[in-house]
Amino acid sequence: MTSPTTLSPATSETLVATPAGRLYAKRWHAPDPTGCAPIVLLHDSLGSVALWREFPGELAAATGRDVIAYDRLGFGRSDPNPARLAADFVQNEVQAGFAPLHRALELDSFVALGHSVGGGMAAMVAAAYGARCEALITESAQTFVEDRTLQGIRAARDNFAQPGQLERLARYHGDKAAWVLSAWVDSWLSPEFAGYRLDQALARVRSPVLAIHGECDEFGSLVHPENIGQWAAGPVETDIIAGGGHVPHRELPERITGRIARFLGNTP
């Protein structure tokens, strides 16, 4: 499938002030805007605005909606985070990062889309903002701390210990790369985080939900989209990507943007 709009959307950038530091945000302006609420992207544990790559622009073109992504504190082009992440960092992101962005950009209503741990954060945002969150989209989200997830993190940790591997992260996070890796590995492997669950937040989400998950996701089994379908209070659509891994939007970008566009086209 070829998008009818082939030109890259115009973009704008801003720095959002928070009590802990500035957050870098980027907006992709839809080339043929529909006037609908923008989509806000929440990145994964090692992610950043830049690591979304072409996806935000492709999503803006496919949906006719502006797409906004931001770097959490300590990631990408945002200010360093001097603290270790607390055990409730997923829930804390609602007030620490999303709320300042929401205010600074005067967003009002929006669609929340999160990848991996960003999916958990997007669910927390949807639960907190009620009807202002018109829809929730999760991609490869974990609903609890699964052994499969921890095994994948340990394997990634060992891989990053090899010579030259941390430099891969430094391309996107600069001298914050070691902190970013530690924030992922140490947080998820800590005993304090073992009780993390999304069920209570999802029970407060009444907006339509689309749960996307790769069949072969190395960081989470298909129990997670099943849980989202069981726990979310609103209507839920589940899309299992046959043979897909942890990053469907990078593996099958046209398939994912098309699916999201169809989902949002059917929501109020």
Of 63, 126, 115, the C-alpha closest to 262 is 63
User: Measured between alpha carbons, how far apart are the two ends of the chain, in Å?
Assistant: 25
Residue 225 to residue 238: CA distance in whole angstroms: 7
Q: What is the pLDDT of residue 7?
A: 60
Q: What is the pLDDT of residue 32?
A: 82
Q: Beta strand pairing status for 21-28 and 67-70?
A: antiparallel
Of 6, 198, 40, the C-alpha closest to 109 is 40
For residues 16, 45, 212 and 237, what is the CA-based torsion angle, rounded to 10 degrees? -60
pLDDT digits (tens, 9 = 90+) for 244-263: 999 999 999 999 999 999 99
pLDDT digits (tens, 9 = 90+) for 205-254: 999 999 999 999 999 999 999 999 999 999 999 999 999 999 999 999 99
Which parts of the chain have pLDDT scores under 70?
1-7, 266-268
Residue 40 to residue 51: CA distance in whole angstroms: 15
Residue 91 to residue 120: CA distance in whole angstroms: 8
Provide the sign of the torsion angle of the four alpha carbons 255, 260, 263, 266, taken in this order. Answer: negative
Residue 166 to residue 162: CA distance in whole angstroms: 8
- Give Cβ neighbours of residue 36 (< 8 Å, ≥ 6 apart): 63, 64, 65, 264
Domains, in order of start, for the chain: 11-265 (3.40.50.1820)
Structure tokens at 130: 């009620």
